[in-house]
Every structure is written in C-alpha cells, then in structure tokens.
Amino acid sequence: MTDRPGEDSRALTARQLTALVVARATSCAGFFAVLPYLGLWLVEAHGLSGADAGLVVGAAILANRAGGVLLVPLIHRLGLKASVGAGYLGAVVAFALLGMGLQLPASGWLVLAALVGLFLAMATTAMKAQVAAFAPDQRLRGFSYLNMAVNAGSAVGPVIGGFLLEWHASSLPLSAAALDLVALAVVPALPGAWRAPESPRPAGGGGRGRWLPQRRFVAFSLLVCGTWVAYAQVFDVLPAYLGDAVSTRDLGLVFTLNAVLVVALQVPVSALSRRVLNRPRAGFAVLCAAANAVLAAAVLLFAFGRSAGLGLILGAMVLFTLSELVWSPLYDAQVGERRGQLSTTAAYALAGVAWGAAESVGAWLGTLLVVRRSGPEALSPAAAPYWGAAALALLTGLAMSWGGRRTTDKPLGGREGNAHVVDVSAGS
C-alpha cells in the first residue's frame, strides 16, 4: 500500500540504483565529452564560422535545458521507462549522425545538436520522475545517487573529449554515441514497467491539473533560483574572475576536487541528510538554511581568490561541495513533494527550465561584471557577483527554511495525482 497515488513505498534495490548511476553517468559523460569542444570541432573539421558554431552549441544547451517541457506530452504517452529508453536511443542516433562526416550547412548541424539536447532532456526528465515515484526518504536517496553520477560523468566527459580531439577528432561524437549506448543497455534494470498505466485523474479537475502549477510549487521553484544564481558564480564565472591569478592547471585541480568529493561523499552526506529530515520538527528548514549558509560562506571565500592564493580557493571549493551535496538532491526530492496536482513529469520539466534559466542569467550577469574589471582586492568591483551571490544564498536559505516549517510528508496543496504509477519489482 503506498502513501499517495503513484508513490511506491518500497526501497530502491541495489540493481536499480546501479542502473540509475550507470545510465546517468555515461550519458552525462557523452554529452560533456562533446559539448565543450563542439564549437571548435565544427570550425576546424567542418569549416563553420565562429558565429555559426556558437549558434549550434547554444541550440544544444537550450534544447537540453528546455526540452523536457516540450516533450512532457510524449513522455506521458510513452510512459517513464520507455521515455528514458527512447531518449537514449535518440541521442545515440543523433551523435552517430554528427560523427558520420556529413557535409551539412550550419542549419543542419544546429538541428542535430538540438536533437541531442532534446533526447537527453527527455531521458533525464523521465528518470527524475521515476525516482520521484518513491516514498520521500527513497527519493532523496535516489536523487543523491543521480547527483553523484552527474558529477562523475561531467568530470570524466571533458577528459575523454579532450583526448579524442587531440588523437582522432572525427571520432568525438561517436564516443558520445557509444557512451549513450551503454546508458541504453542498462535501461531494462531501471525502476518501473515499460508501459506504466496512468493513475486516475483527480475528480472534477479533468486533465488540466497535470499542466497547471499551483502557487506553492511556483514559489518554491522561484526561490530555489537564488541558489542556482549563486552556483553559477562558481561553475560558470570563476574561471573569468580568477583570470591570470590562477593557472589553468590549478583551476582544473579545483574543479576536479569538486567532482572527487561528490563521488566520495554524496552517499554518506545523503544518509545524514535523511536522518535530519526524519527529525520530528523542521528537518527541511534546518537542512536548507544550513546548506545555503555554507554556500554563502564558500562564495565569499572565492571573492578573496585573486589575492589569497590556491589554498583558500581549494578550501572554498570544499565548502561549496559540502553545500551542493545537500541542496542539489534535496531540491530535486522536494519537487516531487511540492508539485500539487501537477504531473511528476511536468513538475521536473518546469523546475528544470526555471533553474536552468536562473543559472544562465547568473552566469551572464556575473561574467558581465567580472570581465574587464581590475583589482585583486575582495572589495573590488570584480568581486561584486560573489558578495551578491552570498547575500542571495543567505536570503534563499532563510526564505526556504521559513516555508519548510510547513513541509510534511503530506502533499502540499491538496491530494496529488501522478501521471504514472511506477511498478518497481525486485526483478525489473
């Protein structure tokens, strides 16, 4: 018996968790093996102009961020597990076409890159909805493993891509196709049935509730954007901010430290987070406020990075990672808690677009303020994005913790309906 319609109270099995990690890690590795080098590859191997190559890369990123929303009706029709498989299969085909040596105009490359982003967005959105169908403690566990897999894949992918670009550039997209083929191979072991039946629609609401976000979900999604803007100052703006103060090799070490710590600590930190969440009072409020406070401290330390040296930057990255280990899976799990009448698939698609937009705006604004701003001091104009991000993270934590005092295991905004009932048997 489950607590809510579409929710499975059983634990994720070791086989299912392994399949989730392998699929997510290999698909991320494939995407990030190509994305950082796609523009250069198109210019050097296919003669595109810099402007055209930039449009192609932008199309892949935009489709990957927003594609989940566009494909929600198709995911509902196919079912979650079939959608994950279809997404990875489509990515394999699109990457293979990119690597076949075709002579295409810029518009042709743009379409193929956009298809890569769309197919991977389809698989990611459906996979998150699969995990969200479990009970709250299992959701946090599943999203913790997914966060670990994403960081592992995004760390390994650029290494693979950089090696191939030097050794055999023409095989760059084919390596991504091979990695997505591995992800496709483990889809049968993922949670759920291939064609999950739809649960009954809420009485009196027709099907509209699956598409209309309620106020609490909108408020939650927008508040979380503050954390993502702060996140962008580290992952998207930091190389531009540090500039000549830190060598490229040392900067690579900083980001490698983040990936290693996520892989090593995500599971134990998530176990601790689950214990805090199970406390009878304000578990979410404590976690959210603490994670954003640590994030604020980390970005403040990064503000001193131009003058303080590598040691302080590494310490700041440790704090940043500890924060990320808590808030990243926690927010993903809360989407399933706070979606109201919205379908699980639509909820994760809409949240993904909002958070992707917040990261993009944060990266744009931070880069705008950092580039061509001089001064090594932490109070120089170039450090303004980091002071602003620290304040924003603190405000986000306070606002989220205040709202989190009302969070329980009961659905927010009334009885929830789910577009899919996921059958998770031990042998699936």
Is residue 229 located within the same domain as residue 362?
A: yes
β-sheet bridge partners, residue 8: 134
Is residue 345 located within the same domain as residue 276?
A: yes
- Single-letter amino acid, residue 71: L
Is residue 266 located within the same domain as residue 396?
A: yes
Is residue 428 domain-resident? no
Is residue 183 domain-resident? yes
Give the whole-angstrom CA distance, residue 187 versus residue 307: 48
Q: Could you report the per-residue pLDDT of 350-405, keeping only the tens digit for each? A: 998 999 889 888 888 888 888 765 555 656 778 899 999 999 999 999 998 876 55
The C-alpha angle with vertex 240 and arms to 54 and 258, in degrees rounded to 5, equals: 100
Crossing angle for the helix pair 248-277 and 310-338, nearest 10 degrees? 40
Is residue 275 located within the same domain as residue 349?
A: yes
Q: What is the pLDDT of residue 102?
A: 82
Is residue 239 located within the same domain as residue 179?
A: no
pLDDT at 261 over 70: yes
Is residue 143 domain-resident? yes
Greatest alpha-carbon span in the chain: 62
**Do residues 157 and 32 touch, judged by C-beta distance below 8 A?**
yes
Q: What is the pLDDT of residue 250?
A: 85
Closest CA to 235 of 357, 359, 57, 58: 359
Q: What is the CATH number of the domain that holds 373?
A: 1.20.1250.20
Give the whole-angstrom CA distance, residue 146 versus residue 100: 31
| Domain extent at residue 170 | 14-189
Most confident of 46-60, 174-188, 210-224: 174-188
Residues 6+ apart with CB under 8 A from 312: 301, 304, 305
Is residue 221 located within the same domain as residue 322?
A: yes
Is residue 299 located within the same domain as residue 374?
A: yes
Is residue 215 domain-resident? yes
Residue with tokens 């670990």: 148
CA distances from 304 to 334, 376, 380 (A): 33, 8, 10
Is residue 224 located within the same domain as residue 109?
A: no
CA distances from 36 to 45, 155, 158, 318, 351 (A): 15, 12, 7, 24, 25
What domain count does the chain have?
Answer: 2
Crossing angle for the helix pair 215-235 and 344-370, nearest 10 degrees? 40
pLDDT at 89 over 70: yes
Give the whole-angstrom CA distance, residue 126 versus residue 153: 19
Mean pLDDT in residue range 281-308: 89
Written as six digits, the tokens of 275 are: 């214990």
Which residue among 155, 189, 223 closes a domain? 189
Is residue 347 located within the same domain as residue 247?
A: yes
Is residue 351 domain-resident? yes
Is residue 184 located within the same domain as residue 227?
A: no
Closest CA to 95 of 41, 147, 34, 7: 34
Return the half-sphere exposure (C-beta side, CA atoms, 13 A cut-off) of residue 366: 30
DSSP structural state of residue 5: T
Is residue 365 located within the same domain as residue 221?
A: yes
Is residue 238 located within the same domain as residue 128?
A: no
What is the percent of the chain where pLDDT is above 70?
A: 85
Is residue 195 domain-resident? no
pLDDT at 410 over 60: no
Is residue 205 domain-resident? no
Is residue 52 domain-resident? yes
